[in-house]
């Protein structure tokens, strides 16, 4: 069965600093990969997705992620973090076909002013 690992439970960065959130997946083939963000008391918003093609994908709010097949990773990055980016971030995978998302445990991002 596929699984997703987000090794960092909490991350604190200063506003304006760069950010990288790690995600590793375990799956026999290349799954479809997603990053979602959740603000307190809210649902999930899709930041970006990777299905195939260019391994560097751009998303909303200035986020990007890079798929590295050799490392089974799909890390999320942002060059300059804003205070409004404070939220919980989830990496998720779906095997080809279907809508069954398997989520990582999430990374809680705190932004210091």
Partner 1 sequence: KAGVTQTPRYLIKTRGQQVTLSCSPISGHRSVSWYQQTPGQGLQFLFEYFSETQRNKGNFPGRFSGRQFSNSRSEMNVSTLELGDSALYLCASSEISGASTEAFFGQGTRLTVV
Is residue 98 within the footprint of partner 1 (CB under 8 A)? yes
Q: Shortest gap between Cβ of 42 and partner 1 (angstroms)? A: 6
Judged by CB under 8 A, the chain residues 11 through 40 that form the site for partner 1 are 32, 36
DSSP 40: T
Q: Look at strands 107-112 and 10-14 and give their pairing.
A: parallel
In angstroms, give the least distance from the CB of 70 to partner 1: 22
Strands, DSSP E only, in the chain? 3-5, 10-14, 19-21, 24-26, 32-38, 44-50, 56-58, 64-68, 73-78, 87-94, 102-103, 107-112
Binding status of residue 44 toward partner 1 by CB under 8 A: yes
Q: Collapse the DSSP code of 75 into the 3-class scheme (helix H, G, I; strand E, B; otherwise coil) and give the result.
A: strand
- Per CB under 8 A, the segment of 16-24, 53-61, 70-78, 93-101 that binds partner 1 is 93-101
CB 51 → partner 1: shortest distance, Å? 6
Binding site for partner 1 (CB under 8 A): 32, 36, 41-46, 49, 51, 90, 92, 94-106
């Amino acid at each position: 069965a596929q699984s997703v690992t987000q090794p960092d439970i909490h991350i604190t960065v200063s506003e304006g600093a760069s950010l990288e959130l790690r995600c590793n997946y375990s799956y026999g083939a290349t799954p479809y990969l997603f990053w979602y963000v959740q603000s307190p008391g809210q649902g999930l918003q899709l930041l970006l997705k990777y299905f195939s093609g260019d391994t560097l994908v751009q998303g909303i709010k200035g986020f990007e992620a890079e798929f590295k097949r050799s490392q089974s990773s799909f890390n999320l990055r942002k060059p300059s973090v804003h205070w409004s980016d404070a939220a919980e971030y989830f990496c998720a995978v779906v095997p080809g076909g279907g809508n069954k998302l398997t989520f990582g445990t999430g990374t809680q991002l705190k932004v210091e002013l």
